[in-house]
Structure 1
Amino acid sequence: MAVLPIRISGDPVLHSPASPVTDFGADLHRLVEDMYETMDLAPGVGLAGPQVGVPLRLFVYSYETDEGEPLRGVAINPELWISPPPVGEADEDTESEGCLSFPGERFPLRRSERALLRAVDLDNRPFEIEAEGWFARIFQHEYDHLDGILYTDRLEYGYTKAVAKITRRSGWGVPGVSWTPGIDHLED
C-alpha cells in the first residue's frame, strides 16, 4: 500500500467530471487500498478518485455511527438521490465541513439530511445505502467531487471572499499543487 498525494483546489482533475470505472482488475483494488490508507492518514472521512489525481467515478468513506458501528466502504460508479436541503443559513457549529483538497479550513454549508446511494463494489456487485445526517453529508461531499465540484463552490456568497483570500495566500488555485499525508505538514 502507498499514501497518495492529495490534489489541492485549482488542479484541473478536481474541477472536471470524472469518467466511469470500467476495469475492475488488480489496479483498481490497489488504488482503493491506497485511497483508504491516504484517507486514514490525512485523516479524513472520505476521499474521491479525483482528489488523488485519478479521474474515475469512485470514492471511499469511513464513518462511525452514534452507536459506535463502523461503516467503511467504496462506492464505484455511484448514483445519489437526496432529500430537499433545509432552507436558511447554515449553522457554523453544526453544519461546517472541510475538505482534504482545501486543507485546514472549514466553512458552514447546508446539505440534505437524507441521501440514497446506489453504487457497485470492487467486485462490480450493486449495493444501496440509505444515509442520514453526517453520513448523508459525506456521500454528498464525495459525490460532488465526481462531478468536479468542491464544497467551496457551494458556499454562500459571504464565504467566497474568504475562500479566495485563503486560495491566494496559500498559493492554491493553480494546477499541480498537492500535499501528502504523513509527509507534508499543513498549518491548521
Structure 2
Amino acid sequence: MDLLRRKTSAGARGFLDDHFLIAMPGMKDDRFARSVIYVCAHSEEGAMGLIINQAQKMRFPDLIVQLGIMKEHEVIRLPATARDFVVRNGGPVDRSRGFVLHSDDYRVESSLPVSEEICLTATVDILRAISTGRGPRHALMALGYAGWGAGQLESEIAENGWLTCPADMGMLFDADIERKYDRILASIGIDLAHLSVSAGHA
C-alpha cells in the first residue's frame, strides 16, 4: 500500500501495473499455487498485488459485524450484493489488513488510483458504502496482500514462476473464483499442458 501511495504521488506507472500475474505449474511457493494476482503497484522499489482467486472462510456480513459497522441483527438488511460479497485471501503479508479494489465510480480521500478505471481503498468508509448499497459498481475485497522487494518479482518471472498479461476488468471483478485461473489462461490462448515450457509473458 505504501508503495502504491509513493507511486501515486510521483505520478509514475510501472510496466506491470494493472496486469495479472498467473502462477506457472512449477510455482515453488504453495501459497501461490494456481493463483492469479492483480498487480497494484510495480517499480524499482518492488511490487504489491492482491490474489484474486482465493476465497476466505470469513463472509462479508461476519466481517462488518466484527468491525462494528453493523450489529448482528442488522445484517438481514444488507443488500443482496453485499450479502454475497466474497472476502478473498489477498496474500500472505499483513493478513489482518483489508483492501478493496474497485471501479473508479466511487472514491474517498484515501482511494488510490491503480489505473484509469481502477482504485484501491483500504479504509472502512468503502465497507460502510458497500453495506448500504452505495458503493462502487464493481469491487472485490481481500485480506492481506502479496509483496516483493526490489528486483524480486522480475527474478521470479525470469525463472518462469509467473506468466503476465494485461488485466481484464471483467475477469478481475467477476465472482467465478474457482474457475478464474483456467478462464484467464484460456482468454489469452494459453494451453495449461504447455505452460511449463512457456516464457514468462504473453
Query: Normalized against structure 1, the TM-score is what?
Result: 0.29
Where relative contact order (Cα < 8 A, 6+ residues apart) is larger, the structure is 1
